[in-house]
Structure 1
Amino acid sequence: MIEAAMIWNEPNNKSHWDPAVDPDWTKFAAMAKLAGQAIRAENATLPRVLGGMSPIDPSFVNRLAGYGLMDHVDALAVHGFPLDWNLWSIHDWPAKLDEIRAVTDKPIWVSEVGISTFGAEEVQLWGLRRTAELLRGRAPRIHWYSLYDLPQAWEATTRHKEAEGSSYYRHFAMGLLREDGTPKAAAGIFPEFTPDLGLCQWFHYEDHRLDDAVAWMKRLGVTYLRTGLSWADSFRPDALRWFDRQMEALRDFDVTVTFCFTPEHLGIEPHHTSAPREPELFAEFCAAMIRRYAPAAVRAAAE
């Protein structure tokens, strides 16, 4: 079942929200408030989580609080990749969480944390153990990113591409499983940390990995998952059929569903990271997805 609705993904990261269109996040805050209200109107008991911030930045939280957004979310989320992209040590995880706790009384989720095998599988193996040691018991949800490597034929959702050395290519090696589905060394120890650790796995439209992913997650002892329903994908042909298939396949997990990505034809700029021209349309999408996959009556019966 859906256990939470997440509003956007990495809104303070220019790869996911265009600072040229919205340099002070006023448009994001207005859109997210409408989305939070729409989700609450459809299901008053479903937790609303603010999309994981990257970088982890208390000033960003303060800014959004000043816009009144915190009245419309129930938890905050953070993302961290200290061995690959962040300029802080993996050992700083408790301190990074404390930085956000200092500016909010809301629960803090770690909705993406992971380590690339770009340099060596042994790095991921060690990093998984150390991450679990540092985060278990400190956050109500810890979503390890990710189950699968990103296929080489696909494109990572980032703006810098090859401009920063190995940074772009590390996106393709974050999985516990290789692109062909064979396990890496860290997959062998992941069950030591479940069910405390869950997974974050994005499924692309008509993703060929979906059924195998479900089988692997059950094998690994995973009980909760974060994934997405893309607003942009909702305009693809037969999108609802794909959404239905994805959500039915994931029915045995507690799912945090992330709503994000602007359809190009609805953005201020024609790009999935752009603020929408009409933020009400994003809120309508969120409401429609909650009505379809997490209606209040169904959730109440499950509880």
Structure 2
Amino acid sequence: MIDAAMIWNEPNNKSHWDLELDPDLRLFAETAIAGARAIRDANAGVPRVLGGMSPIDAGFVRNMEARGVLDHVEAIAVHGFPLDWNHWSIHEWPRMVAEIRALTHLPVWVSEVGVSTFGAEEVQAWGLARTAELLKGEAPRILWYSLFDLPKAWGATTRHREAEGSSYYRHFYLGLIREDGTPKPSLEVFARHTPDLGLCQWFHFEDHRLDDAVAWMRRLGVRHLRTGLSWADWYRPNAQAWFDRMMDALAEFDVTVTFCFTPEHLGIAPHHTSPPLRNEDFAEFCHLMIERYAARTGIVPAAAARRAPFDATAGAA
């Protein structure tokens, strides 16, 4: 079921919002407020979350407060990847969360945190264990990114791709499970921390990994999942059938849906990071998604079921 609705993903990052078109984020603030109002109108019981900022930036929070965005959300989220992209130590996680918590009365979620196996799989296993140790008790929601490695043939959702150098290729190694479906050592580490740790797993349009993801999450005891409902994907052929299938498959989990990615024909610029031409179009999408999916309920949540000790060698089935 839908547990929360997140408005955009990393809006203060040029890979996900066009900061050349909107350098002071005025347009984003207007878009976010329009989406938040639509979510509230569709279902007042769904908490609204301001999309996970990356980098973690007090200035972004102050900007959003000044523009009235924080009056329209029930939580604010941060993303951090200190062993791969950020310029701070993994040991600073409590300080980074506290810095944002001091600026607002809103709960601060960690809606993406991860470590790639770009250099060594052992680094991820250690980083996951240390992250859990540092963050459990610091944030009401901690979501590990991600369950699966990104297939190399797909490409990462970022505007700059190979121009980012090795930073780009780290996107492909953030999963607990390799592209060939075999588990990494960190999968067993993760299993020790569920349900305190949830997952952030983005599913591509008609993603062949959906059923395997559900099977793994059940076995791992995952309760909370964050994923995306792409506004841009909504205009693909058979989009409604795919969205229905994905949300039905995930119904037993507490799902935070993320509304983001501008359809090319509805943006100021023809790109998924563009501000919309009309905020009403984004609001209409948010309203429709909440109206269609927030009422869907699942069976017994995975984490509520008693499970045997996790065995990574057993596979997902």
Equivalents in 2 of 1:194, 1:157: separation in Å?
Answer: 28
Deviation string for 1:81-119 (max 9, x for gaps)?
000000000000000001101211100000000000000
Aligned to 1:201: 201
What's the counterpart of residue 177 of structure 1?
177
1:46 match: secondary structure: coil
2:16 partner SS: coil
Q: The residue matched to 1:218 in structure 2 has which SS?
A: helix
Q: Distance in 2 between the 1:159 and 1:196 partners?
A: 33
Paired with 2:179 and 2:13, the residues of 1 have a C-alpha distance of 26
Q: Distance in 2 between matches of 1:182 and 1:223?
A: 22
Question: Are residue 102 (structure 1) and residue 102 (structure 2) matched?
Answer: yes
Are 2:251 and 2:297, in contact at CA under 8 Å, matched by a contact in 1? no
**Equivalents in 2 of 1:242, 1:122: separation in Å?**
36
Q: CA shift at 1:142, angstroms? A: 0.5
Q: Distance in 2 between matches of 1:37 and 1:13?
A: 23
Which residue identity lines up with residue 40 of structure 1 in the other structure?
R
Q: What is the alpha-carbon distance in structure 1 between the residues aligned to residue 34 and residue 117 of structure 2?
A: 39
CA distance in structure 2 between the partners assigned to 1:24 and 1:113 by the alignment: 26
Measured in 2, the distance between the counterparts of 1:43 and 1:154 equals 35
Match of 1:27 in 2: 27
Instruction: Note the residue ranges of structure 2 that are not aligned, 5 or more in a row.
Output: 302-317
Deviation string 1:241-275 (CA, Å, 9 cap, x unpaired) is: 00000000001100000000000011100000000
Q: Distance in 2 between matches of 1:298 and 1:250?
A: 10
Query: 1:13 is matched with which residue?
Result: 13
Instruction: Report how many residues are paired.
Output: 299
Kept after mapping to 1: 8 A contact 2:252/2:297: no
Question: What is the match of residue 65 of structure 1?
Answer: 65
When the two chains are superposed, the root-mean-square deviation of aligned CA atoms in Å is: 1.4
Partner SS, residue 287 of structure 1? helix
Q: Which residue of 1 is the match for residue 139 of structure 2?
A: 139
Structure 2 Cα separation of the partners of residues 280 and 27 of structure 1: 13
Aligned residue number for residue 223 of structure 1: 223
Q: How far 1:162 sits from its partner (Å)? A: 2.4
| % same residue | 71
**CA contact 2:229–2:260 (8 Å) conserved in 1:** yes
Equivalent residues in 2 for 1:1-303, closer than 5 Å = 1-295=1-295
Aligned-pair CA distance for 1:227: 0.3
Q: Deviations over 1:211-239 (max 9, x none)?
A: 00100111111111000100000000010
Q: TM-score, normalised by structure 1?
A: 0.97
Shift of 1:298: 7.0
Whole-angstrom distance in 2 between the partners of 1:250 and 1:215: 10
Q: Could you tell me how far apart the structure 2 residues matched to 1:55 and 1:189 are?
A: 26
Deviations 1:14-50 (A, max 9, x none): 0000011111101000010011111001111110000
Distance 1:85 1:64 in 2: 24
1:176-208 Cα offsets, whole Å, 9 max, x none, are 000111100001221100000000000000000
State the alpha-carbon separation in 2 of the partners of residues 180 and 279 from structure 1. Answer: 41
Q: Which runs of 4+ in 1 moved over 3 A?
A: none
Which amino acid is 2:180 matched to? D
> Partners in 2 of 1:125 and 1:80 — Cα distance?
16
Q: Where do 5+ consecutive residues of structure 1 fail to align?
A: none
SS of 1:39's equivalent in the other structure is helix
Q: Distance in 2 between matches of 1:263 and 1:42?
A: 22
C-alpha distance in structure 2 between counterparts of 1:127 and 1:55, whole Å: 19
User: Which residue identity does 2:273 align to in structure 1?
Assistant: T
Pick closer, same or farther for the CA change 1:67–1:134 going to 2, 3 Å: same
Instruction: Find the counterpart in structure 1 of residue 306 from structure 2.
Output: none
CA deviations over 1:263-300 (Å, ceiling 9, x no partner) = 001110000000010011001000000000014x979x
SS for the counterpart of 2:109 is strand
